[in-house]
Amino acid sequence: MEMNSSEIQALIPNRYPLFYMDGVEEIETDKSISAIKNVTVDESFVNSYLPGKFIMPATLILESLAQAASIFILKSPKFKNKTAYLGGIPKSEILQDVKAGDQLQLKVELKKQRQNIGLVDCVALVDEQPVVTAELMFIVEDVE
């Protein structure tokens, strides 16, 4: 594991109950990242979204992709000591449900960047099958 949850929390501001990163498996600076999120039955959103179905809401999968993108962006030397914000979701597609017991593999690739604004292509996979795809816009700013 390239980064664990503690190392990730030192980089991005997200905390419980909106912290969805269990680890970073691989990161290529200014190119891509592969992170993981383990979906467990004891998470409040799994039990409350559709009671009895144990499904992770697609919006939280998009948030998980955004957190992976933040890690990727902020690991770049040019954005050291900055913070990344989600600027928009130009495209997204929900392909299938994610259930408790699944492990999300979150893959993010840089599409284009101009100064402090950019686009990333994202895919969340379970057992190597895409469950959510998205294009996310990010904005990087100084930490206030």
Q: Which one, of 76, 80, 88, 65, lies nearest residue 14 by Cα?
A: 65
Reported as a single tens digit per residue, the pLDDT across 62-88 is 999 999 999 999 999 999 999 999 999
CATH code assigned at 114: 3.10.129.10
Determine if the peptide bond prior to 77 is cis (ω within 30°): no
Which pLDDT score is estimated for 14?
A: 94
Cα(142)–Cα(144) distance, rounded to whole angstroms? Answer: 6
pTM of the complete model:
0.95
Number of domains observed in the structure of the chain: 1
pLDDT tens profile 31-71: 999 999 999 999 988 887 777 889 999 999 999 999 999 99
